C-alpha cells in the first residue's frame, strides 16, 4: 500500500476549511484539467456522513469512474472517504484539520493500492504516487485560495 501525506496551512477558520473540503462543487472546480464531474450520489453542495459520490473524469487519457463513501465525519476535525467502486484495489483518504498559531492546518493522508499485483505495485511507485500527489496539491491550492478570500461564499451560503 502506498501512502501520500500532505500538509496545507490556511489562514481561515477550521470550520470553513472543513466545509469547503466537503464541497462537491469546489472539488469539480479544482479538477478542471481532468474534466472530473460528480455523476451520481451527491452531485452538488456538501457531502456528508454516510453519503456517496461517483466521480467521472479523464485520467491517463481514459474516462474513469470512482465512487467514494464518507465513512467518518467529525466536524471540524476530520472526515474520511473510502472508495466503494473504482479502478483501485483499495483507496482511503483521511482529511484532518487543526488550528495552530491562528491558522488551520489541513492534513491529507491518502492510502491506496493498485490492482494487478506486481504490475500494480510498479504503477503505484512510478506513476500513481506522483500523479495523485499533484492532483491533491492542485485541489489544496484552490481550496486554500478560496478559503482565504471571499470566494468561499460561492460554495458556502453562510459561514458556520
Q: Is 116 helix (H, G, I), strand (E, B) or coil?
A: coil
CB 49 within 8 A of CB 38: no
Q: In CATH, what number does 2-154 get? A: 3.30.530.20
Per-residue pLDDT of the chain (160 residues; tens, 9 = 90+): 899 999 999 999 999 999 999 999 999 999 988 889 999 999 999 999 999 999 999 988 889 999 999 999 999 999 999 999 999 999 999 999 999 999 999 999 999 999 988 898 899 999 999 999 999 999 999 999 999 999 999 999 765 4
- Reported in sequence order, the residue ranges of the chain that DSSP labels E, i.e. its strands, are 2-10, 37-41, 52-59, 62-74, 78-85, 90-100, 103-113
Residue with cell 491562528: 102
Query: Cα angle at 56 between 20 and 157, to 5 degrees?
Result: 25
Amino acid at each position: 500500500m502506498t501512502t501520500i501525506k500532505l500538509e496545507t496551512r490556511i489562514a481561515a477558520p477550521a470550520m470553513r476549511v472543513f466545509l469547503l473540503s466537503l464541497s462537491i462543487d469546489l472539488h469539480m472546480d479544482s479538477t478542471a484539467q481532468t474534466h472530473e464531474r460528480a455523476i451520481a450520489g451527491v452531485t452538488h453542495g456538501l457531502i456528508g456522513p454516510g453519503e456517496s459520490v461517483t466521480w467521472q473524469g479523464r485520467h491517463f487519457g481514459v474516462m474513469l469512474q470512482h465512487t467514494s463513501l464518507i465513512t467518518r465525519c467529525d466536524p471540524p476535525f476530520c472526515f474520511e472517504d473510502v472508495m466503494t467502486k473504482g479502478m483501485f484495489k483499495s483507496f482511503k483518504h483521511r482529511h484532518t484539520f487543526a488550528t495552530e498559531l491562528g491558522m488551520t492546518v489541513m492534513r491529507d493522508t491518502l492510502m491506496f493500492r493498485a490492482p494487478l499485483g506486481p504490475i500494480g505495485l510498479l504503477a503505484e511507485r512510478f506513476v500513481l504516487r506522483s500523479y495523485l500527489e499533484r492532483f491533491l496539491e492542485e485541489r489544496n491550492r484552490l481550496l486554500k485560495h478560496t478559503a482565504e478570500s471571499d470566494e468561499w461564499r460561492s460554495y458556502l451560503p453562510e459561514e458556520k
